[in-house]
Chain A
Amino acid sequence: MTELLKGLGRRQFLAGGMLLPLALGSLRASAKTAPHVVIVGGGFAGATAARYLARWLPDVHVSLVLGRDRYWTCPFSNLAVIGLRSLDSLEVRRDQLASGNITLVPLEARDFDPHRRTLRLEGGRTLSFDRLILAPGIEVMPEAIDGHGQDAVDTFPHAWQAGPATDHLARRLSAVPDGGLVIISVPEGPYRCPPGPYERASLMAWWLARHRPRAKLIMLDANASFTKEALFKSHWREAHPQRLSWFGRNDDGQLRRVDARRGRVHTDFEDYRPDLACVIPPQRAAAIARIADLDGGRGWCSVDARTFASTVHPNVHVIGDAAIANPMPKSAFAAASQARICAAAIAAEFSGRGPPDALLTNTCYSLLTPEKAIAVTGSYRGTRHGIQTLPGSGGTSPLQAPSSLRETEAGHARGWYASARAEAFGD
């Protein structure tokens, strides 16, 4: 009996007590019978989840809560920083996400009650849900750095959430004089897009080499090592031996303090006077994912890797950057992979099937120059014990490779971007 009721999987319907009067034929059509899934955040994770849920659970109703902000993709935004891509080309128009069973809600989510299963929106309206998927991405914390704060972000631009800030950073870069100094500081992990700072450094160095040949770039890194390190470093040694220096955590690379008034940055032993300091702040899950103790005070949300259901509130799922999914990195690729597994798991449950095999994948392409790229890849399985890397699946582009392979992989990166963007947003 309970098994069958679970198979029916429509609590709203049962709670409504409307079962008996309805003919079977109207079961699917009736709004009362359709599970209502509310998704907060219309980035790579949320948009991908919405589209696969609509496809895999045809009678679902999805409310996709987008907030008021426009959306620009972070992937490929480092090219906009060096003026080789327009901000416009990174903007995603999300109107085409609306469909027969996806309703767009252009408001900010403020709060939710996991027990009553309601989400409160700005303005006070509430939505009830059978399942809530939180895909809100990150919040940056400049105030965690001594001397820094939200009001100093224009002084130390990070553009770690793409948009007008990306253009601002591009303008700041183009104002760096020849012979000037650029600094990029990297927070301790976990943060969004582990290879992102090193891709940015590579592209900025490429731009400086052409336009400010006497300028220097210093990376101050709170980490002792980083992803694709051998590949990045070998490229830097070859292309920018005098231009780009990297200092890690064991090499006085940790940023200790900034002086916003003078635009200076300080480590334990050095005081730098850069013309531009791109200070990437420490990060945590966006505010809505830290309500109701969903993050257990840790800043990121722990999930069941088979379904991406929160380990704290099982009818709330968390996907994308806000979730703890290591060894998967916080990438758009990983976010979409988690979104598909989460959608498949919810679809299976509401149709009375067992959970899907949680094969998860990631590939992070990074540009070394506008025309050359490297990749790191991994496949994983979500298990009851967490996310496990599948043997033999992890690795990077070869260290020794002809320039033609790097060019081929830059083409693959563009192919992935177009494909992942179409998959998530239909744009």
Chain B
Amino acid sequence: MRRLSTLLLLASVSAVADAEGPSRGEILASACNTCHGLDGRGSPPLPPLRGRNDIRQQLQAWKIAAEATGDTHLMIRFARALSDMDIDDLASFYARQDSP
């Protein structure tokens, strides 16, 4: 019984210690960085995203854009797939990174 409670203690401490992991925003951002460069550092001509503060505003504007034409037709479609929570998590993740 003593052994069991030690085990439980260790198990819960370990779960807490490990609970950090990647944030929701970081996992979502990996889907963007596949184009926008490793860790969002840009991959010319695709612009860098890390360190930017305008991501929320830009994605929200695209989300309501009517027609998916022009250079950013693809970003308009990506933005439509994102919930408001996705956009918030992405924006705060990128804002926390240093600019490239």
Contact = CB atoms under 8 A, between A and B. Distances in A.
Interface stretch (A103-111, A280-288, A404-412): A404-412
A72 interface: no
A296 interface: no
Interface stretch (A204-212, A320-328, A344-352): A344-352
Contacts of A405: 70-71
Given A377-B77, A390-B80, A398-B69, 8 more contacts: A4-B11, A27-B14, A344-B27, A352-B19, A359-B81, A378-B77, A420-B34, A422-B37
A348 B21 contact: yes
Closest 10 CB pairs between A and B? A379-B81, A419-B43, A392-B80, A351-B18, A393-B81, A415-B46, A390-B81, A7-B15, A352-B15, A8-B11
Contacts of B78: 361, 377, 379, 393
B68 interface: yes
Contacts of A375: 74
A419 B22 contact: no
Interface in B13-35: 13-15, 17-19, 21-22, 24, 27-28, 30-31, 33-35
29 contacts: A4-B12, A8-B14, A8-B15, A19-B7, A20-B3, A20-B6, A24-B14, A56-B22, A340-B27, A344-B22, A347-B21, A348-B21, A350-B18, A353-B21, A357-B28, A379-B78, A379-B81, A393-B80, A395-B68, A412-B45, A412-B46, A415-B43, A415-B45, A416-B34, A419-B35, A419-B37, A419-B38, A419-B46, A423-B38
Interface string A379-420: 100000000001111110110010001001001100110111
Contact of A7 (B11, B33, B34, B77): B11
A166 interface: no
Contacts of A377: 74, 77-78
Contacts of A336: 34
A322 B86 CA distance: 29
Contacts of A337: 31, 34
Given A4-B8, A56-B22, A353-B21, A416 B68 contact: no
A393 B71 CA distance: 16
A359 B26 CA distance: 12
Interface in A151-179: none
Interface range on chain B (Cβ under 8 Å from partner): 35 or more
Give the most central of A408, A416, A418, A419: most B CB within 10 Å. A419
B34 A333 contact: yes
Contacts of A5: 11
A1 interface: yes
A391 B71 contact: no
A357 B35 contact: no
B10 interface: yes
A411 B45 CA distance: 6
Nearest to B22: A56
Contact of B71 (A363, A395, A408): A408
A347 B18 CA distance: 10
B73 interface: yes
A419 B21 contact: no
Contacts of A352: 15, 18-19
A5 B86 CA distance: 31
A351 B47 CA distance: 34
Contact of B77 (A4, A347, A392, A416): A392
A58 to B, nearest CB: 9
Give the most central of A57, A379, A405: most B CB within 10 Å. A379
A353 B19 contact: yes
A52 interface: yes
A418 B36 CA distance: 10
A264 to B, nearest CB: 42
Contacts of A392: 77, 80-81
Interface in A45-63: 52, 55-57
B86 to A, nearest CB: 7
Contacts of B44: 415
A419 B70 CA distance: 22
Contact of A415 (B6, B13, B35): B35
Contacts of A359: 28, 31, 81-82, 86
B46 A356 contact: no
Nearest to A7: B15
A415 B10 CA distance: 47
Nearest to B4: A1
A101 B65 CA distance: 44
B15 A395 contact: no
A8 B68 CA distance: 47
Given A347-B21, A347-B22, A393-B78, A24 B43 contact: no
A369 B91 CA distance: 36
